């Protein structure tokens, strides 16, 4: 079966930071994909498995070996991210906000409708950052880390010591370490958060 590499595959490889894509005689590369590969300096590297396959025992066919090797290579590739981003060799990272796929955030409150997606983690920085969505619900939380929140849309309510602080779109909140608060929203709030240290989840 022929394998097709199109422009979208090259863009995805570039966003993942890959510099090489293996191709063989069964691979078809579109002209636009070739042009983008040259633009992004991604090498389309011919792979020849015939010499290795010739050394295989008779009970494993060359075709079976190639299929097995392709599966192994596919498993070894960097897992796809829940967002589209571009990375620079020095660690700079540009994320397309509209592409971010949110995941359920476990708050300990089964009635809370909360989603989160970390965008910068401890493997990249001393701080972590991401998106948080609170949809018509609230939950209690104790912070063992410092956090800054920027409200993108909706209304964020943070209650501490019986006092509720309300932040609307464009507002910023700072929550110190060791604070016991209740996060909530009477509508649907979307927040960009940054925490220090980055391994905040390990400190809970």
Q: Domains, the chain, ranges and CATH?
A: 3-81 (no CATH), 93-203 (2.60.120.10)
State the maximum Cα–Cα separation within the chain, in Å, rounded to a whole number: 76
Give the C-alpha separation, 43 to 45, whole Å. Answer: 6
Residues in the chain, how many? 204
Which segments in the chain show pLDDT lower than 50? 75-77
Residue 97: predicted pLDDT? 94
Residue 60: predicted pLDDT? 61
Residue 69: predicted pLDDT? 66
Give the C-alpha separation, 122 to 202, whole Å. Answer: 11
- Of 46, 37, 38, 47, give the one whose Cα is nearest residue 11: 37
Residue 92: predicted pLDDT? 93
Residue 167: predicted pLDDT? 98
The pTM of this model reads 0.63
Residue 118: predicted pLDDT? 95
């Amino acid at each position: 079966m022929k394998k097709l590499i199109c422009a979208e595959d090259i863009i995805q490889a570039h966003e993942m930071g890959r510099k090489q894509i293996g191709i063989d005689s069964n691979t078809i590369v579109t002209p636009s994909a070739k042009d983008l590969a040259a633009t992004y300096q991604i090498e389309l590297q011919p792979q020849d498995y015939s010499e290795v396959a010739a050394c295989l025992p008779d009970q494993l066919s060359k075709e079976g070996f190639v299929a097995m090797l392709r599966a192994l290579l596919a498993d070894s590739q960097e897992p796809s991210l829940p967002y589209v981003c571009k990375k620079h060799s020095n660690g700079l990272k540009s994320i397309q906000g509209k592409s971010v796929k949110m995941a359920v955030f476990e708050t300990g409150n089964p009635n809370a409708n909360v989603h989160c997606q970390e965008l910068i983690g401890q493997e990249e920085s001393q701080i972590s950052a991401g998106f948080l969505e609170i949809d018509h619900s609230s939950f209690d939380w104790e912070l063992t880390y410092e956090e800054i929140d920027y409200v993108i849309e909706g209304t964020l309510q943070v209650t501490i010591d019986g006092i509720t602080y309300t932040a609307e779109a464009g507002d910023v909140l700072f929550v110190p370490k060791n604070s016991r608060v209740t996060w909530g929203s009477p509508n649907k709030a979307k927040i960009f958060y940054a925490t220090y240290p980055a391994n905040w989840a390990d400190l809970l």
